[in-house]
Amino acid sequence: MAESTTVKEIKIKNQESKIPGPLIVVSGPSGSGKTTVIARLLAIGDLPLHHSVSATTRRPRPGERDGVDYHFLTREQFDAEMAGGALLEWAEVHGQRYGTLRREVEPYRGRGIGVILDIDVQGAAAIRRQCPDSVLIFLRASSMEAYERRLRQRGTEDERALERRLAAAQQELACAHHYDYQVINDDLDTAVRDLHALIKHQFGDR
């Protein structure tokens, strides 16, 4: 599909002025709808955006594709990337490592393309230290009851696992005030529109 005039114009202006594309970090607890909201945002297609694919040492789940959902690496491969300085940030979660590869971020920003990172609060804090110009957006529901309802509707976890996720959600919500913006996702269309407006603003008059 041909790029819209708006996308082309933004790319050209950014390249001419050598302004790096904005780095957008989106975080939120399980049940906040990050994956769906970001997918809907990218589908609009009127802004030059790249969705960064994270690296992980965990095994692929059914239906997941290497290079699309994650870059699936062995522990040895991940360690080699770390040693070579190829990671902007990384963390170990439940015995598995996750990280953001520089090659998923820097080449795109250098061409004036915005980059979206879907990472947790720990990763977001690391990105802010590495890239002070990053913009942090926290996606959330309006209440813990909404999180619990969404997680139960998934039907993918037992009660103990669900309780762990709810406890983690409370911890993440306690970090929301460190973010530049918060977007409420009680209504999908509204959340997508609000996120789109925030990201479009980051391109400014470029």
Write down the pLDDT at residue 126: 95
Residues 18-43 have a mean pLDDT of 93
The CA distances from residue 130 to 42, 136, 183, in Å, are 25, 13, 24
CA distance 174 to 169: 9
**Beta-carbon neighbour count of residue 204 at 10 Å?**
10
Is the pTM of the predicted complex or chain greater than 0.75?
yes
Q: What mean pLDDT value characterizes the chain?
A: 90
Residues 157-172 have a mean pLDDT of 86
Model confidence at 10, pLDDT cuts 50, 70, 90, reads: low
Model confidence at 205, pLDDT cuts 50, 70, 90, reads: low
Residues 168-187 have a mean pLDDT of 94
Give the architecture (CATH level 2) of 53-104.
Answer: 2-Layer Sandwich (3.30)
Would you kindly state where each structural domain of the chain is located, as residue ranges? 5-52+113-203, 53-104
Residues 108 and 100: beta-carbon distance below 8 Å = no
Give the architecture (CATH level 2) of 5-52+113-203.
Answer: 3-Layer(aba) Sandwich (3.40)
pLDDT in tens, 99-121: 999 999 999 999 999 999 999 99
And the tokens for 81?
A: 């990337």
CA distance 188 to 127: 27
Helix (H/G/I), strand (E/B), else coil: 115: strand
Phi and psi at residue 119, in whole multiples of 5°? -135, 165
Residues 35 and 72: beta-carbon distance below 8 Å = no
Q: In sequence order, which ranges of 63-187 are alpha helices (DSSP H)?
A: 75-83, 106-110, 121-130, 144-154, 159-173
Write down the pLDDT at residue 1: 45
Please give the residue that has the higher pLDDT: either 10 or 198. Answer: 198
Residues 113 and 93: beta-carbon distance below 8 Å = no
Residues 22 and 195: beta-carbon distance below 8 Å = no
